[in-house]
């Protein structure tokens, strides 16, 4: 980001997809005030960003096919955008909350017409299915955890803008708190449970960099949901969760009434951070025992193998999902012929002495005019060049810095291979879609590897991790028209270029395939004085 004007914060939004039988396609309205506040999960106060005074922000309680309208009031002194991480927007990339699709919400102070600026975001929840039989759970707990930097976002941004890495985080928090054995009890309680009851924990890794593993002393966890898809209900002692990922587990309070540690530790990082919270039985007594449940193997190779095996154990629950095909309508995805294979290779390099990250040799940079608007107003050639990223990468060690957009054909069934030749783990997120995560393996991908794909019950999800020197394959039908961001879920990497956009235009430009640009859409950049294109019909 060249200009200092475009100081941008994008928060990922993890919606708690809470279940329940509901009326047809209801609308849910939310009002969110975005303000600064002081946060100190690791004890060091720093300015942080709050939504309605809370960190982590409020939970959106929705189910499939809900329409969610969020009015966001930016009370900060800098532009702001919110992007959807846990909800799939259909036919509406206009409000996807990325700089390639929307103008940032300007700070209240500088908005000419109003004391506050606002934007509306309409999203459609896709999951879980409205009439699915949800596992019984007495109560739900939302757990947002992740790594934490004691430097504030302004300091972190200036490090990145100067072309350096923000380095390692300072610790891990669980719902904004960080504790060790011996921390005062009032700081630690994550959940109070009643003996005999079963609880659902929705856990999201909202960190910037670190994968984590989480586990609960003396309790097992039954996985029931992964990024909106019902899973085969396997039981785990501990689960890996990579940046940007969310899942739900059921935990039955079947132990002696007491206190038990909920343990989170970092994975695949040289320095291991461990943070605790407490699962507390009502009327329980006694302290949580200081012997913590062990993490997965620490030897790097074993650790990766362990985590890959766990990934392979995640299966789509065909019984629970059968009432409704996935949004792409490709329930029998294994029978669809692949129409395009895109290999995505991440890399890092110095460009003019500054650190950049890229995809297939292209390091994305945002333009002042959102790409979607440039395309819609017919001036894309003034803003970006299509297809700098090729499906078959050649030289990925040298990076070209430019806005990065590939064209895709509406309704193509594509296979995306994420190839990680680096020594650090990656996580990826595709907006607007869920995809079938059919394989993760060490080494390099070749077409013969397709024999090993899970073509029956891979989980339909919207993030995928890629281990060091490994690859991952996903498949999806490109049936959601729009300009969709494919990015590293690790903020440093996406900010410094490891992202691109996929332009999916329906040939008819019809309302059936894509909503019209909303009347509330803010216009910025070179399209500001251009005549409005004819709406879709
Ligand atoms: C947001 O702030 C305005 C005042 O600035 C207030 O009227 C409104 O109630 C707030 N909304 C929420 C949800 O906190
Ligand atoms: C979520 O919404 C459903 C349906 O409106 C309601 O029954 C449930 O109590 C809500 N859950 C939370 C945690 O707000
Ligand atoms: C938890 O499990 C450990 C190991 O099996 C056992 O020694 C301990 O007594 C259990 N704690 C409680 C409170 O039941
Ligand atoms: C699939 O989901 C249903 C409904 O939640 C559940 O009853 C069933 O046990 C699950 N199947 C498996 C194999 O876990
Ligand atoms: C779920 O709803 C769909 C349509 O609303 C209906 O066709 C289907 O039978 C329902 N499935 C179950 C398990 O109730
Ligand atoms: C897939 O491709 C094969 C071989 O080209 C062809 O025989 C088959 O009909 C195709 N299937 C579908 C569903 O298009
Ligand atoms: C990409 O789409 C644009 C807009 O429809 C079109 O002008 C361009 O020719 C396409 N490029 C390729 C390589 O398909």
Task: Provide the 10 A C-beta neighbour count for residue 8.
Answer: 16
* 71 in contact with ligand 1, CB cutoff 6 A: no
pLDDT band at 497 (very low <50, low <70, confident <90, very high): very high
Buried b / exposed e over 120-152, threshold 16 CB at 10 Å, is ebbbbbbbbbbebebbebeebbbbbbbbbbbbb
CA 338 – CA 59 distance, rounded (Å): 37
Q: What is the mean pLDDT of residues 163-180?
A: 92
* 233 in contact with ligand 4, CB cutoff 6 A: yes
323-369 tens-digit pLDDT? 444 544 446 888 889 999 999 999 999 999 999 999 999 999 999 99
Residue nearest (by alpha carbon) to ligand 3 atom 3: 218
Domain 140-299 has CATH 2.60.40.420: yes
Q: How far is the CA of 529 from the centre of ligand 7 (A)?
A: 24
**How high is the pLDDT of residue 92?**
82
Pocket test for ligand 5, best of 323, 325, 331 (most atoms within 8 A of CB): 323
Q: How far is the CA of 323 from the centre of ligand 5 (A)?
A: 6
Helical (H) or strand (E) element with 493: helix 491-495
Q: Is the model's pLDDT at 114 over the cut of 90? A: no
Greater pLDDT, 24 or 536: 536
67-77 tens-digit pLDDT? 777 777 888 88
* 494 in contact with ligand 4, CB cutoff 6 A: no
Q: Over pLDDT 70: what percentage of the chain?
A: 84
**How high is the pLDDT of residue 324?**
47
Listed range (25-29, 247-251, 354-358, 425-429) with the worst mean pLDDT: 25-29
Q: How far is the CA of 218 from the centre of ligand 3 (A)?
A: 6
338 — phi, psi (to 5°)?
-75, 130
Structure pTM?
A: 0.88
Residue nearest (by alpha carbon) to ligand 1 atom 8: 33
Question: Is the separation of the CB atoms in 164 and 115 below 8 Å?
Answer: no
Q: How far is the CA of 409 from the centre of ligand 7 (A)?
A: 10
- Atom of ligand 5 lying closest to residue 131 CA: 1
Q: Is the model's pLDDT at 8 over the cut of 50? A: no
Q: Is the model's pLDDT at 506 over the cut of 60? A: yes
* 351 in contact with ligand 4, CB cutoff 6 A: no
* 407 in contact with ligand 7, CB cutoff 6 A: yes
463 — phi, psi (to 5°)?
-135, 160
Pocket test for ligand 4, best of 19, 320, 323 (most atoms within 8 A of CB): 320
Q: Is the model's pLDDT at 529 over the cut of 50? A: yes
Q: Is the model's pLDDT at 528 over the cut of 80? A: yes
pLDDT band at 64 (very low <50, low <70, confident <90, very high): low
- Atom of ligand 4 lying closest to residue 230 CA: 2
Listed range (149-163, 182-196, 345-359, 482-496) with the worst mean pLDDT: 182-196
Q: Which of the ligands is closest to the CA of residue 130? A: 5
214-232 tens-digit pLDDT? 999 999 999 999 988 889 9
Q: Is the model's pLDDT at 166 over the cut of 90? A: yes
CA 158 – CA 155 distance, rounded (Å): 5
CA 30 – CA 59 distance, rounded (Å): 10
Listed range (75-79, 134-138, 419-423, 503-507) with the worst mean pLDDT: 134-138
- Atom of ligand 4 lying closest to residue 233 CA: 14
- Pure H helices in 269-426: 300-313, 318-321, 371-376
Residue nearest (by alpha carbon) to ligand 5 atom 10: 323
**How high is the pLDDT of residue 436?**
94
**How high is the pLDDT of residue 511?**
87
432-476 tens-digit pLDDT? 888 999 999 999 999 999 999 999 999 999 999 999 999 999 999
pLDDT band at 9 (very low <50, low <70, confident <90, very high): very low
Greater pLDDT, 496 or 27: 496
pLDDT band at 124 (very low <50, low <70, confident <90, very high): very low
Tokens encoding 188: 């630690």
**pLDDT, averaged across the chain:** 84
**How high is the pLDDT of residue 25?**
63
246-302 tens-digit pLDDT? 999 999 999 999 999 999 999 999 899 999 999 999 988 888 888 999 889 878 889
183-213 tens-digit pLDDT? 766 668 999 999 999 999 999 998 999 999 9
Give the residue from 59, 68, 71 showing the smallest Cα distance to 126.
68
**How high is the pLDDT of residue 90?**
75
* CATH of the domain spanning 1-131: 2.60.40.420
**How high is the pLDDT of residue 499?**
98
Give the residue from 15, 14, 34 showing the smallest Cα distance to 104.
34
Q: Is the model's pLDDT at 125 over the cut of 70? A: no
pLDDT band at 85 (very low <50, low <70, confident <90, very high): low
As annotated, the residues of the chain forming the CATH 2.60.40.420 domain(s) are 1-131, 140-299, 333-527
CA 519 – CA 120 distance, rounded (Å): 10
* 18 in contact with ligand 2, CB cutoff 6 A: yes
Q: Which of the ligands is closest to the CA of residue 319? A: 4
Range 333-527: architecture per CATH: Sandwich (2.60)
* 222 in contact with ligand 4, CB cutoff 6 A: no
Q: How far is the CA of 140 from the centre of ligand 2 (A)?
A: 10
Q: Which of the ligands is closest to the CA of residue 389? A: 7
Which residue pairs from 267-270 have beta carbons closer than 8 angstroms and sit at least 24 positions apart in sequence? 267/210, 267/211, 267/212, 267/213, 267/240, 267/295, 267/296, 267/303, 267/307, 267/425, 268/210, 268/211, 268/300, 268/303, 268/304, 268/424, 268/425, 268/467, 268/468, 269/168, 269/210, 269/211, 270/168
Angstrom CA distances, 313 to 85, 282, 307, stand at 23, 34, 10
- Atom of ligand 7 lying closest to residue 375 CA: 4
Question: Is the separation of the CB atoms in 26 and 67 below 8 Å?
Answer: yes
Q: Which of the ligands is closest to the CA of residue 129? A: 5
Q: How far is the CA of 230 from the centre of ligand 4 (A)?
A: 8
């Amino acid at each position: 980001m060249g200009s200092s004007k475009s100081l941008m914060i994008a928060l990922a939004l993890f919606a708690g997809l809470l279940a329940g039988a509901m009326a047809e396609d209801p609308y849910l309205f939310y009002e969110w005030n975005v303000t600064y506040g002081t946060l100190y999960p690791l004890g060091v106060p720093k300015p942080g960003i709050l939504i309605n005074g809370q960190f982590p922000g409020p939970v959106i309680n929705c189910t499939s096919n809900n329409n969610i309208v969020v009015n966001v009031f930016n009370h900060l002194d800098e532009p702001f955008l919110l992007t959807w991480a846990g909800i799939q927007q259909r036919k509406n990339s206009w409000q996807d909350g990325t700089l390639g699709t929307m103008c940032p919400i300007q700070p209240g102070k500088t908005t000419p017409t109003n004391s506050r600026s606002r934007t509306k975001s309409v999203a459609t929840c896709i999951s879980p299915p409205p009439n699915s039989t949800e596992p019984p759970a007495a109560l739900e707990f939302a757990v947002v955890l992740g790594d934490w930097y004691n430097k504030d976002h302004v300091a972190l941004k200036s490090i990145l803008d100067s072309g350096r890495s923000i380095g390692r985080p300072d610790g891990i928090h669980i719902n904004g708190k960080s504790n060790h054995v011996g921390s005062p009890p009032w700081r630690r309680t994550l959940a109070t449970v009643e003996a005999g009851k079963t609880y659902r924990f929705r856990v999201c890794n909202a960190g910037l960099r670190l994968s984590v593993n989480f586990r609960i002393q003396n309790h097992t966890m039954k996985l029931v949901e992964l990024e909106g898809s019902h899973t085969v209900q396997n039981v785990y002692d501990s689960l890996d969760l990579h940046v940007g990922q969310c899942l739900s587990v059921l935990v039955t309070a079947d132990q002696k009434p007491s206190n038990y540690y909920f343990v989170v530790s970092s994975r695949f990082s040289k320095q291991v951070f461990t943070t605790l919270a407490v699962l507390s039985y009502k009327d329980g007594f006694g302290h949580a025992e200081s012997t913590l449940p062990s993490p997965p193997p620490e030897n790097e190779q074993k650790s990766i193998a362990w985590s890959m095996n766990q990934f392979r154990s995640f299966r789509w629950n065909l019984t629970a999902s059968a009432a409704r095909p996935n949004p792409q309508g490709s329930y029998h995805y294994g029978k669809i012929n692949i129409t395009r294979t895109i290999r995505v290779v991440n890399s890092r390099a110095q460009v003019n002495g500054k650190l950049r990250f890229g995809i297939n040799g292209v390091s994305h940079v945002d333009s002042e005019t959102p790409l979607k608007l440039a395309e819609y107003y017919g001036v894309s050639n003034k803003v970006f060049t299509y297809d700098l990223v090729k499906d078959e990468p050649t030289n990925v060690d040298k990076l070209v810095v430019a806005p990065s957009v590939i064209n895709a054909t509406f309704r193509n069934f594509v296979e995306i291979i994420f190839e990680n030749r680096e020594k650090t783990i990656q996580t990826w997120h595709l907006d607007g879609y869920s995809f079938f995560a059919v394989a993760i393996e060490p080494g390099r991908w070749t077409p013969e590897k397709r024999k090993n794909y899970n073509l029956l019950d891979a989980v339909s999800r919207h993030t995928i991790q890629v281990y060091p020197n490994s690859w991952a394959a996903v498949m999806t039908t490109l049936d959601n028209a729009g300009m969709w961001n494919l990015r590293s879920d690790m903020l440093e990497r996406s900010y410094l270029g490891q992202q691109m956009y996929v332009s999916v235009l329906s040939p008819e430009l019809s309302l059936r395939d894509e909503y019209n640009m909303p009347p509330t859409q803010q216009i910025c950049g070179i399209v500001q004085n251009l005549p409005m294109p004819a709406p879709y019909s």
